[in-house]
Structures are given as C-alpha cells and as structure tokens.
C-alpha cells in the first residue's frame, strides 16, 4: 500500500476542486525529475517486496478460525519496535504499515535490496523473519496467514467480534461484512 500518514482525508467534493492542480503539478514534477536524471547510466537499482498478512484467531476447542480484528494492536507494537530501532540510529529489519482490513498487516524490508544475486538470495530468509516477528506480537490464539483472501470472509460469524453487517448505513454498506472490519486509520473509513 505504501506510505500512510495520519491526517484527515478531504471530502470528495472538496478534493475534486484540486484535481486539475494535482494533475498539472504532477506532470510538471515528473518532467523536472525526468530532465534531471534522463542521462544517468549504470545506477544500482534498488527494490523490495511487500507481504500482506491476514491475522486470524482460532479456538482449538470449538475448532473455529475467524478473522482477528485485533491485528491493529499488533501493528501498533510493530510500529513501536520499528521506531525504537530508528531512534537508536539502526536500520530496522522490517517496516510495517496498515492495510485496509483491520485484520491485516503489511510488512516490507526495512531497507531496499540491491542489484546483485546475493541480494536476491536474502529475500526468502527476510520474509521468514518478518513472519516470525509479526507472529511474536500476536495473542497466543492468533496466527498470521499469507492467503489471497480469507475463505470465510463475509460469512456469518467470520469475525472474532460480535458485530453485524449494516447494509443500510456505514462505509461498506455491505450485506456480508461489518464496518468494524475496516482499519481505524484515518485513510480508510
């Protein structure tokens, strides 16, 4: 998802009045950057990856797995862990950002990979470390999954909170999933 900062999104009608300014200045900025770097050669390209995790809670006695709406608690702890490393002048091993679902986490490398084969060989171990780190900040009855989507999303009783969908109001206005599944970050609801 990329960089998210806290703030208040503009209502659409107000944002729409700035659309031409954003388009014009976006093009101007692009052309300025292009003209500045178009003759550069042999740069070392940097890259990274992004893994979106789904956090589930499970009840071994009832043999049930549900989406955990407490993932944002783990995200807050992961962000504090990252900030503590940065405050010490260290490069954190990973970076954590919110995702649209309150039951999701986004993990990226703490620093970009370089352009060598050695860098490519770091990816799998780095992904394993991020997964273990995310898991370490969850409650004992929770786990991180890397699925395209949770198979029971939208089914009755698929969230670990007792909430109902509200098709006649709210952000989702969904027949199947409650607004409580949306991340509380200002960008989303």
pLDDT tens digits, residue range 29-84? 999 999 999 999 888 889 999 999 999 999 878 789 999 999 989 999 999 999 99
pLDDT tens digits, residue range 117-166? 999 999 999 999 999 999 999 999 999 999 999 999 989 889 998 888 88
Q: What is the CATH number of domain 51-181?
A: 3.30.590.50
Helices 123-136, 71-87: inter-axial angle, 10-degree rounding? 120
Instruction: Compute the distance between CA of residue 182 and CA of residue 162 in angstroms, rounded to an integer.
Output: 15
- Dihedral sign of CA atoms 113, 119, 120, 124 in order: negative
- Dihedral sign of CA atoms 110, 5, 75, 143 in order: negative
Whether pLDDT at 185 is above 80 = no
- Domain regions of the chain by residue span: 51-181
Whether pLDDT at 1 is above 60 = no
Q: pTM to 2 decimals?
A: 0.80
């Amino acid at each position: 998802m990329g960089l998210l900062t806290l703030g208040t999104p503009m209502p659409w009608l107000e944002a729409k009045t700035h659309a031409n300014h954003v388009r014009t200045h976006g093009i101007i900025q692009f052309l300025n950057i292009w003209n500045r770097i178009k003759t550069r050669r042999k740069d070392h390209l940097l890259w990274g990856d992004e893994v979106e995790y789904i956090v589930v809670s499970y009840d071994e006695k009832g043999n049930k797995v549900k989406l955990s709406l407490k993932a944002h608690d783990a995200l807050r702890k992961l962000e504090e862990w990252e900030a503590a490393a940065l405050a010490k002048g260290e490069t954190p091993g990973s970076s954590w950002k919110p995702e649209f679902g309150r039951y999701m986490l986004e993990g990226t490398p703490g620093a970009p990979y370089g352009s060598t084969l050695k860098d490519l060989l770091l990816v799998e171990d780095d992904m394993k470390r991020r997964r273990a780190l995310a898991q370490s900040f969850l409650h004992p009855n929770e786990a991180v999954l890397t699925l395209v989507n949770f198979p029971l999303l939208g089914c009755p009783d698929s969230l670990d909170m007792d909430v109902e969908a509200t098709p006649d109001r709210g952000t989702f206005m969904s027949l199947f999933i409650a607004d409580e599944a949306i991340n509380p970050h200002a960008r989303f609801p």
